[in-house]
Amino acid sequence: MRRLPAVRPEIVGLVVVGGVVLIGLPTVTNQFYTFEFAKVAIFVIALLGLNILTGYSGQISLGNGAFMAVGGYTTAILVHGPGVPYWATIPAAGLLAGVGGVLIGIPALRLTGIYLALATFALALSIPPVLNHFDSFTGGHSGIVMPPVLAPFGLDLSQEQWLYYLNAGIALVLFAFAWGVVRSRTGRAFMAIRDSETAAVASGINLAYYKTLAFGLSAFYAGVAGSLLAIATSYLNPDSFGLSLSLALLVGIVIGGLGLDFGAVLGGLFVVWLPYFAEKASGLQIGVFSFPGKPDIIFGALLILILFFAPNGAAGLLRRGWLWYLSLRGAARLPAAEPVAEREPTEIVP
Amino acid sequence: MLAFIQQIVSGIASGGIYASLALALVLVYRAMDVANFAQGEMATFSTFISYSLIEYAHLDFWTAFVITIVASFALGIGIERLLIRPFEGAPVLTLVIVTLGLFTIINGVTGLVWGYVFKEYRGAFISQPVRFGGLYLDTQDLGVLAVVLVMLLLLYLFFSRTKIGLAMRAASLYPESSRLLGVRVGWMLALGWGLAAAVGAVSGMMVAPIIFLDPNMMQSILLFAFAAAVLGGIESPLGSVVGGIAIGIVMALVGTYIPGGQDLRLAFGLIVIVVVLLVRPAGLFGRAAVRRV
């Protein structure tokens, strides 16, 4: 029998508080904030995918915005053309993007390090003009307009609230799935590849299979995120999926915490809210220094600072804080407090 | 047929611009094995400096050109010392992300200072057709090519005939032995960044009169420069030049002969990168990389 690890009461408390916040949020904030939090959920999904690829498998991708474009356009075209209900397009968008990811993953097998960065960078840059080119499908520059989404079953929810619950629900399911994947045999193979390809191969890990799988999974997440983005904004055009989106994803996951479960969550919060606060702070005068209203500068500067001072990102800082708290509470009786990303507990076989 | 040759000629001219930015990438790559994703944004920033010198300080183009190159050189060294040096010995992934951070910072600063309105940039050469045989050559294209060729010659002389050029090559090939022989390897890397920034500035100032000046001006050119560098072999300066010219010709032909080809040029850049990396990862002139365990 596998013994279930004891759950600390603090964890139970955090989960309860987290659940209450997650469910109660749209009832206490206004429509604008609710919509922004719906966007946070979308970015969390995209970042969960990028985390699987870059954080756990060590394959850099500057092109996940392109997979979001695949998902977004799948939904927009299916809803706009044959009139498929929007909720039915979400899995289709994820699967199609996932197939795209596998297709990109196959040539990417032979590209390592900066070459992979180069190729995916080129992918991110070349997607918008290609979408423009096939304007009979994509509507070109003018984009595709979709009917706004209303709460189903006569639920008494505003449009923003429904979008929030929809996105947050899907994000929660996909978070749990990613949580499971990285703790499974597959996840351990991903991390082995990240830490040393040679050692991974020597241990009998099929490099081609797992790398392609990582690309496919990551693109699936990006596709679902792209689909939800299209549904939330009920409009998309090629510029929604430019280089800046792909860069925002990378910045988000690095600042949130590469290879840590909550990195994607913190990264999503960051990517959505930083531009908002940067806008608010713009024009704020401190002496002669006027605060720049440009999130890019703050994004870039934070990125470099985080890499230098806290390579595990915000989630890494939180984890350190948690471990420190445990050490204060005399956690010696619970040896399971070892950090997850540094050493995976091996599965106990009866 | 004549139209075809015409396209090739204009492709060679824009190829010269891609080649210079590719050369800048190669200079950094040789110094520290990392592709500088911010190279294009650095070049844009430099070009805006020269724009301000011309428009607001009322300098003539060539004075502004020289001042900008010197300033870019200093800026490149400053960036290396300030931002790259702290990450010496870090994994490639980290360095790539640092240059991407640099990319967003410089892009944001450029937008903040000069705004996002497209600006007309008065370059050195006035676009005028010159009849040559049956072909019409553009004086602007010829001027750009001449500038790029002079720059290449100067760089070649620098690396082959000067002591410091030799030291830079030694530092990039054999850092340990060079250090033992008294070469200050760290500074040679900084010098590489400085030179790359200067070379990139030239490419920016050459391309701006053709495509208008805006903070995102160099992004597509960076992609073509990456394609050029990969095609030529990312550590070969000669390769980057040949690759640049080849990419210039391909893009001119794609833009002309494929319907709607202007939109597809970036995708062709992607295809070139992927195909070269799959078929011949070392490029035309690079050495095959030995995989270390």
Tell the burial category of B181 from Cβ atoms under 10 Å away from its Cβ (0-12, 13-18, 19+): exposed
> What domains, with CATH codes, occur in chain B?
2-279 (1.10.3470)
Could you read off the pLDDT of A57-69 as tens digits, one per residue?
888 888 888 999 9
What span, in angstroms and rounded, lies between the C-alpha atoms of A268 and A262?
10
Confirm or reject contact between B288 and chain A (CB < 8 A). no
Residue among A58, A117, A122 minimizing CB distance to B269: A122
B97 to A250: CB separation less than 8 angstroms, yes or no: yes
Tell the burial category of A112 from Cβ atoms under 10 Å away from its Cβ (0-12, 13-18, 19+): middle
CA distances from A58 to A117, A256, B101, B117 (A): 11, 16, 19, 39
pLDDT over 70 percentage in chain A: 88
Residue among A60, A122, A250 minimizing CB distance to B226: A122
CA angle B204, B242, A242 (to 5 degrees): 50
Residue type, B203: S
**pLDDT class for A333, splitting at 50, 70, 90?**
low
B274 to A107: CB separation less than 8 angstroms, yes or no: yes
CA dihedral B220→A98→B281→B245, nearest 10 degrees, is: -20
- For residues B191 and A22, the model is more confident at B191
Domain boundaries, chain A: 29-337
The single residue listed with the structure tokens 């619950």 is: A165
pLDDT of residue A294: 65
Confirm or reject contact between A251 and chain B (CB < 8 A). yes
CATH number for the region A29-337 comes to 1.10.3470
Which residue from A145, A144, A146, A167 is spatially nearest to A157, judged by alpha carbons? A167
Could you read off the pLDDT of A173-198 as tens digits, one per residue?
988 888 888 888 888 888 888 888 88
Helices and strands in chain A: count of H runs, count of E runs: 14, 4
Q: Quote the distance between the C-alpha of residue B42 and its chain's center.
A: 10
Q: Which residue of A has its CA nearest to B229?
A: A118
pLDDT of residue B237: 83
pLDDT of residue B42: 94
Which residue from B183, B251, B241 is spatially nearest to B220, judged by alpha carbons? B251
- For residues B261 and A44, the model is more confident at A44
- For residues A140 and B246, the model is more confident at B246
pLDDT of residue A5: 66
* ipTM associated with this complex: 0.84
When pLDDT is averaged across residues A67-80 and rounded to a whole number, the result is 88
Q: What's the whole-number average pLDDT of chain B?
A: 86
DSSP string, A209-228: HHHHHHHHHHHHHHHHHHHH
pLDDT over 90 percentage in chain B: 25
Please list every residue in chain B whose beta carbon sits closer than 8 Å to the beta carbon of residue A202: none
pLDDT of residue A335: 53
Distance from CA of B265 to the nearest CA of A (A): 8
Which residue from B138, B272, B154, B255 is spatially nearest to B202, judged by alpha carbons? B154
**Is the pLDDT confidence value at B68 over 80?**
yes
| Phi, psi (degrees; rounded to nearest 5) at B112 | -65, -40
Please list every residue in chain B whose beta carbon sits closer than 8 Å to the beta carbon of residue A137: none
Please list every residue in chain A whose beta carbon sits closer than 8 Å to the beta carbon of residue B286: none
Interface of B with A in 186-245 (CB under 8 A): 219-220, 223, 226-227, 230
Please list every residue in chain A whose beta carbon sits closer than 8 Å to the beta carbon of residue B93: 54, 58, 60, 113, 117
Output helix, strand, coil percentages for chain B, rounded to the nearest 5.
75, 5, 20
What span, in angstroms and rounded, lies between the C-alpha atoms of B269 and A100?
19
When pLDDT is averaged across residues B169-173 and rounded to a whole number, the result is 82
